[in-house]
A and B are shown apart, each in its own frame.
Chain A
């Protein structure tokens, strides 16, 4: 037997405790439990679900939705721009979701200032591309911080029942770009159908082609069905679910088609600021047609339990450094985790 070594002092428990405490503190700091964190996806979703008419099991925003199914067929031009299989596979089955922007899943369609379209493309190489677009031509704010402050400013003051005008002034002073969005929201005409609504993915992405050349792009879905505007009176008088009824009616008569068009950035274009549209003169390329053949309620449709995270991308398409794009991905994940937990607690249903 080797000679036993003398024991160390029990005072050495102190440095041991200190080391463990330091590691625990570092972990707590990294996880946001201690320290003053600027803005987290949890804080964004806390605000979203505390305002409006949040219902358990529904998305924290864009809660009202309709599932759809159809196909995507890329054009011959598409394959020159990205190695992603979605740009070359002759026909891809897709599912997707139309949405209205509030967190009230029962809000009247006529009251929704913004409409959304999300698409999931699974290609035959096993990769997946999820796309989330909206009817606005540019995003409300340049940063997630600006967007959060805008939503905070929009919360009604309990004393007056209306948003505090001082908060709105402070918001516009700190984030002047939001004025442009407010002007759009006030004046933009709303169409009488989802089938003739244009949807824009306002964030920039990087496409890489077969030669390794990168291009920064933004995409839109442009409807082939002609735009027909509704007056404010018509929107007010319309049935709560008139968009779903209209979609069913149109799809019974035949498919609805959108052209997916890329806008390619020129040097100097704002890549990381989704609140600034790129000039209309930029090169545009139609990369495919989205053909919708079927729609169904989201309650038991396949789109309900999908997180249309805009950073689920196939190789050949990559995220830009747009902070709003990254924040959307983070916030959607928190929204998804919360609603799926609620659906789980309600034995599989959203109500």
Chain B
């Protein structure tokens, strides 16, 4: 398989759009649970944005699995290679799991799953306090894991761009030269 030097345009578009969406989502989530005044407004953003991220993550996963990706430079030490691959798959897992857990958690909590206006999603789990009692803390804990993984990802990207000065950052930042 011919490996390209850069991620394909769809992968790059999804990466940067989702970076913005997921960052917003984490901050909205953190703010809404401690807000006395804006919980409802933030929650009204959190639900549809979460479902949008789920849909984008599915498209992104299909694109990732069906198209060749640029390789890491050969001189990246094996431990860093492993960390890169593991963190990327962890990010994919969390991008898909977080919205699904949020949706499942609202279902188990007996909440309506409102998108916007009168549009609702169906429940994907039965109304159950036992399930809700597990999923609600899990949603919070995985949000912290996602935040830390993103920080690590950003740190590694900047390390490639500023310290190693290899091609890794440009693989996602730029297209193939014309």
Contacts and interface: CB of A to CB of B under 8 A. Distances in A.
Interface in B1-50: 26-27, 30-31, 33-40
Contact of B112 (A8, A19, A312): A312
A158 interface: no
Interface of B is mostly: helix
B129 A340 contact: yes
Given A24-B151, A329-B40, A340-B133, A127 B120 contact: yes
B59 interface: no
B127 interface: yes
Contacts of A214: none
A5 B31 contact: no
Contact of B163 (A12, A306, A342): A12
Given A16-B159, A40-B34, A330-B39, A7 B129 contact: no
Contact of B120 (A5, A26, A126): A126
A327 B38 CA distance: 9
Contacts of A40: 34-36
Interface stretch (A31-39, A198-206, A221-229): A31-39
Contacts of A24: 151
A314 B155 CA distance: 44
A79 B147 CA distance: 47
B111 A312 contact: yes
Given A8-B163, A128-B112, A41 B36 contact: yes
Contacts of B134: 344
A5, A125, A330: most-surrounded residue (chain B CB, <10 A):
A330
B154 interface: yes
A307 B137 CA distance: 17
A272 to B, nearest CB: 11
B102 interface: no
A295 to B, nearest CB: 20
In the complex, which range does the number of interface residues on chain B fall in?
Answer: 35 or more
Contact of B118 (A16, A23, A27, A127): A127
How many chain A residues sit at the interface, stated as a range, is 35 or more
Contact of B133 (A5, A128, A312, A345): A345
Contacts of A32: 30, 34
A305 B110 contact: yes
Given A27-B27, A41-B34, A343-B129, A326 B165 contact: no
Interface in A329-351: 329-331, 333, 336-337, 340-345, 347-348
Given A315-B117, A343-B129, A347-B130, A323 B159 contact: no
A271 B153 CA distance: 48
B31 A31 contact: yes
Contacts of A12: 162-163
Contacts of A8: 162-165
B51 to A, nearest CB: 16
9 contacts: A16-B163, A19-B158, A27-B147, A311-B40, A315-B118, A326-B39, A343-B130, A344-B132, A348-B129
Interface of B: 26-27, 30-31, 33-40, 109-112, 117-118, 120, 127-134, 136-137, 147, 151, 154-155, 158-159, 162-166
Question: What are the 4 A-B residue pairs with the smallest beta carbon separation, nearest first?
Answer: A344-B133, A31-B30, A32-B34, A128-B112
